[in-house]
Structure 1
Amino acid sequence: MKKTLLILAGLALSLPALAHEYTVGALKIGHPWSRALPAASQNGAAYFSVDNPGSEPDRLLSASTPRAQRAELHNHINDNGVMRMRQVPDVAVPVGQKVNFMPGSLHVMLMGLTAPLKVGDRFPMTLRFEKAGEVTVDVVVQADAPAVGAHSH
């Protein structure tokens, strides 16, 4: 019985790191995470999904966090065969679609980190949407990307 309780307690503590979701207006934000980086790293990135099951399109306008001096919306583009990161002014969130912020694609660039990103850390990040408004999410720092489907609940 004691062993079962210990296993259940361990599972309960690990579940928040595996998947966490937030709702703002009709939008659902799934599993905000960031990759752990060496202590000397000045910049990082945050990833998540935004699902819009509502009846109106929306736009992610900005992000901010006390963990970085600046947070910018970025995308990777193919510039004559060379992949480059570019800041984007906003990100459309169409009706009935899920927008995935993930490595090699859309992401929130964290510039001027105020502390290293270490596995197990958590930090707040505020997302501001044109119609749905603001929501503060808890970003979990992980060793690597979550398993496929871990943030698509």
Structure 2
Amino acid sequence: MSILKLTLTSLACAALAALVAAAPVRAEEVKAGDLVISQAWSRATPKGAKVGGGYLTIENKGSAPDRLTGVSSDAAASVQVHGMSMQNGVMKMRPVENGLTIDPGKTVKLAPGGYHLMMTDLKAPLKQGEKVPVTLDFEKAGKVTVSLQVEGVGAQGPTGAATGASGMGGKMQMKKMPDRSDMKM
């Protein structure tokens, strides 16, 4: 193999390694008692917006149910757990009364179009790339603070989640590098 081909191959490998190293990392996991909270994220809000949503996944690895009874954040005047449901062909959103139960061995996902955190009277816009701390109050696990990673305005999930860091179902699209073996150095 010529020095040029060896150099180009080394450069291509280095570029691939840098691309893999720069890929977004899966959202952090926070443990609270028997609960594991992961994939905590939010969407950026436009300037002047007074409400924002928060999303996360709560897994109960214990043998008893627990309940999310309250949420707070310095980023908003109030935070509530809301649920969405379809009634007579109309989507309705309402606060969840008496807390959100996480049964043993089950996972509850707060996501767009379903259960979510509703942050009202935001003190400042949520900006992509920032983290918004929220404190979750559980009946048994107690208070735990997690950070919502603020994604883009139209994001459908957290960067690096199981659906794929690039929103392509976990598949990385790569293009073949052009053959430059004819280049002279």
Q: TM-score, normalised by structure 1?
A: 0.87
RCO (CA 8 Å, sep 6+): is it higher in 1 or 2? Answer: 1
Offset, 1:147: 6.4
Structure 1 residue 27: deviation in Å?
0.2
In structure 1, how many angstroms separate the alpha carbons of the residues matched to 2:162 and 2:30? 12
Aligned-partner Cα distance in 1 for 2:36–2:66: 12
1:131 paired with 2:165, answer no
For 1:145, the equivalent position in structure 2 comes to 156
- 1:45 aligns with 53
Q: One-letter code of the match for 2:135? A: T
Q: Which runs of 4+ in 1 moved over 6 A?
A: none
| Corresponding residue for residue 40 of structure 2 | 32
Tell me the residue number matched to 2:168. none
Q: Residue 122 of structure 1 aligns to which amino acid in structure 2?
A: K
Asked if structure 2 preserves the Cα contact closer than 8 Å seen for 1:71 and 1:110, the reply is: yes
The 1:76/1:127 distance shift into structure 2, 3 A limit, reads same
Of 52, 62, 87, 1:79 maps to 87
Q: Distance in 2 between matches of 1:68 and 1:147?
A: 21
- Aligned pair count reads 148
1:11 is displaced (CA, Å) by 2.7
**Structural RMSD (CA):** 2.5
Shift of 1:146: 2.3
Does 1:118 find its partner at 2:127? Answer: yes
Aligned to 2:106: 97
Counterpart for residue 18 of structure 2: 7
The 1:127–1:147 alpha-carbon spacing in structure 2 relative to 1, beyond 3 Å, is closer
SS at match of 1:86: strand
- The aligned amino acid for 1:32 is A
**What amino acid is the match of 2:29?**
E
Structure 1 unaligned runs (5+)? none
Quick check: which one's strand share is greater?
A: 1
Separation of aligned partners in 2, 1:148 and 1:137: 16
Greater C-alpha radius of gyration: 2
Q: Equivalents in 1 of 2:68, 2:109: separation in Å?
A: 12
Corresponding residue for residue 62 of structure 1: 70
Task: Give structure 2 stretches of 5+ with no counterpart.
Answer: 1-9, 164-185
- Between the aligned residues of both structures, percent identity stands at 39
Please give the secondary structure, in 2, of the residue aligned with 1:7.
helix
Contact 2:82 2:94 in 1 (8 A): yes
